[in-house]
Structure 1
Amino acid sequence: MTENRDVAERRAQILDAAAAVFGRKGLHTAVMADIVAESGLSKGGLYWHFSSKDDIVAGLLQRFFEEHVGAVESIVRAPGPAAPRLRELGSRAVTDLTEFDGSRDLALEFYGLAARRTDVRELLRTYYHRYRELIAALLDQGNEAGEFRVADSADTAMTVIAQFEGLALVRSIAPDSVDLAAQVEHFLTTVIAAADTSPSGDD
């Protein structure tokens, strides 16, 4: 158990260092030597955990997904009406996505890496599947409580994911053209209004 904890701590140390370097120098300018220096580890120590910069980017991707899915699971399991929790989910997505502000090319690189590597593509597929399940579960809770009338929660969940991902990609390319928080709020307001069962359509 101690050995596993040490490995996890070293990997986290390297990923933290890589995130700092990518934010400061840019993903494509940074080299492994920069990450070695930032981490305080030896070159051999770093390469024992990650054999390439692509491996480190994949590690950052996996960590981001695990943290984000964990937060979404907590929102879905929380008590209370579904609409405020759907907005909270949107706020969490905005918070997590803005963590990449220092290195927006990471978002694009994730997709490029998925095109090159089967393991990363499978990681993305697994993440989207779980994310879709969680959002659909939240919509189903709203349906069961009589709060929503969503005909197909899985399809609606995928629409929500596509909107979030699309905004993130546009923001990576043209950051000044997207107010992420405002756009997510506008989209979720539209979704909630369309799904609302109250006569006035207000949530």
Structure 2
Amino acid sequence: MAARRAQILDAARVAIDREGLEFLSMARISSAAGLSIGALYTHFESRQALLAELIKSDPQSRPLFRGCKTAPETLQRFAEMLSELALRDETNIRLRVTLELAALARRSPEVRGAVDQGYQGQRSAVMQQMSMLAHDGLAPERVAVIGECLFALLLSAQFQMMTGVVADNDAMLLAARNLLEEIHGGPFTHPTKRRHR
């Protein structure tokens, strides 16, 4: 059953990526998945339910900073996320589709709920990471501001990927580094790059 749902979700992602959301119908998805429309409705009661599940299965919903214990590791993971967002190929189809759906969420309460859940999950992950990394002398209000700024950088990169705007990843990484250095309490060496001063 889970494999069939995954097959349907993959077919929907491909259909949205190729043709856009406005042309997405349950009939097109069932055809792309190689299933009858009845089989499709066995797994998803409506188009909105399917769209909500696409958002919930977004790869960005995984813990954003899993395993990152230090500011340099967090910066490295942020750099990886920016690189993933810069790709325009099959490796990030799930994210592109999720962001396209999120942009249209205002029309469906079910989809809007899934978008809000994903947004809050990402924001919470960033804020928790900043709280964990914050040095003892940093005021909680400042930690929150830094977290919001880092989250805004991530949202900006997602928006740029969704709209096709070429992001300036170097500038975003520099901004992220400056925020993380403040959280850390001073400069640090990036695991793969040295900072130019």
State if a TM-score over 0.5 links the two structures: yes
1:68 to partner: Cα distance: 2.5
Contact 2:86–2:161 (CA<8 Å) still a contact in 1?
Answer: no
- 1:11 alignment partner in structure 2: 5
Correspondence 1:110-121 to 2 at 5 A: 110-113=102-105, 115-121=106-112
**Cα separation, 2, equivalents of 1:104 and 1:139:** 26
Instruction: Identify if the C-alpha distance between structure 1 residues 91 and 106 changes in structure 2 by more than 3 Å, giving closer, same or farther.
Output: same
Correspondence 1:82-97 to 2 at 5 A: 82-92=71-81, 94-95=83-84
**Cα separation, 1, equivalents of 2:121 and 2:95:** 26
- 1:164 alignment partner in structure 2: 154
Structure 1 runs (4+) deviating above 6 angstroms are none
- 1:3 alignment partner in structure 2: none
Greater relative contact order structure (CA < 8 Å, 6+ sep): 2
1:74 to partner: Cα distance: 2.2
SS in 1 for 2:146: helix
Could you report, residue by residue, the CA deviation over 1:89-129 in whole angstroms, capped at 9, with x for unpaired residues?
Answer: 4523652685556995752431322x123333333333333
Q: Count matched residues.
A: 185
Q: Can you give the 5+ residue segments of structure 1 that lack an aligned partner in the other structure?
A: 1-5
Contact 1:23–1:103 (CA<8 Å) still a contact in 2?
Answer: no
Pick the aligned partner of 2:131 from 109, 118, 140.
140
Could you report, residue by residue, the CA deviation over 1:3-48 in whole angstroms, capped at 9, with x for unpaired residues?
Answer: xxx2x22211100111112222222234322211111111100022
Correspondence 1:165-184 to 2 at 5 A: 165-173=155-163, 175=164, 177-179=165-167, 181-184=169-172
**Cα separation, 2, equivalents of 1:73 and 1:197:** 19
Contact 2:72–2:188 (CA<8 Å) still a contact in 1?
Answer: no
* 1:195 is the counterpart of 2:186: no
Contact 1:58–1:120 (CA<8 Å) still a contact in 2?
Answer: yes
TM-score by length of 1: 0.72
**Cα separation, 1, equivalents of 2:120 and 2:95:** 26
**Residue type of the partner of 1:168?**
Q
Q: Which moved more, 1:38-47 or 1:52-61?
A: 52-61
TM-score by length of 2: 0.74
**Residue type of the partner of 2:132?**
Q
Could you report, residue by residue, the CA deviation over 1:142-181 in whole angstroms, capped at 9, with x for unpaired residues?
Answer: 225x6x84643334323322222233224423x2x32264
Instruction: Identify if the C-alpha distance between structure 1 residues 180 and 21 changes in structure 2 by more than 3 Å, giving closer, same or farther.
Output: farther
**Residue type of the partner of 2:151?**
I
**Residue type of the partner of 2:73?**
P
Q: Can you give the 5+ residue segments of structure 2 that lack an aligned partner in the other structure?
A: 190-197
1:52 to partner: Cα distance: 3.7
Contact 1:21–1:30 (CA<8 Å) still a contact in 2?
Answer: yes
